[in-house]
Structure 1
């Protein structure tokens, strides 16, 4: 799986697309001008870059995602655990809950997720 790491401005731009898709590219330009103070050329440059990465597509002047917001953030989470905790989910969870209590509901949800994704 290819890992996409977006810069802060690219991520904000991606969020705008995810929130408004499908969006006409002209409307996207106006939205970026309003929300990010970008010029038309900046919007199209960043859009082209993210299309080349396979995150979005711009067909017939309509921008849509090829990678959902959830898929992007799931990928970022996996990459974070791999880089920071050597890929160890137990080490990540231990660090995450360190010094705090989780609710019974949260514990049950974690148990359910573990059961759902357990091998064999």
Structure 2
């Protein structure tokens, strides 16, 4: 998906070549993943040339995955997530101020 978000559209053969170089997947593996993403509606395919385009935005995927994470591990609670994160991560003053500013801005 990152390839399509950054390139707008790519032929499946080009996706396969890039993925082979960076991840090591064979063409059939990449084509299987592309087909699954098409079946799920994340990618649309145009002929000729098996041109693939993203059918969902990166932002939409991030929102969906964040909600899945929150539901699965924190009972859907952002407060539980932030509390858990803050207990295990030492924030510096700048990060703490930025987080407070976000919370205050969200209240208005």
TM-score band, normalised by shorter chain: 0.7 to 0.9
Q: Please, what TM-score do these two structures have when normalized by structure 1? A: 0.68
In the other structure, the counterpart of 1:72 is: 61
C-alpha distance after superposition, 1:29-84 (max 9, x if no partner): 22223233333333222111101112111223322212223322332122111111
In the other structure, the counterpart of 1:96 is: 85
The number of residues matched between the two structures is 106
Unaligned stretches of 5+ in structure 1?
A: 1-13
Change (3 A) 1:117 1:82: farther
Q: Please, what TM-score do these two structures have when normalized by structure 2? A: 0.74
RMSD value over aligned CA atoms?
2.5
Distance in structure 1 (CA, Å) of the matches to 2:23 and 2:7: 15
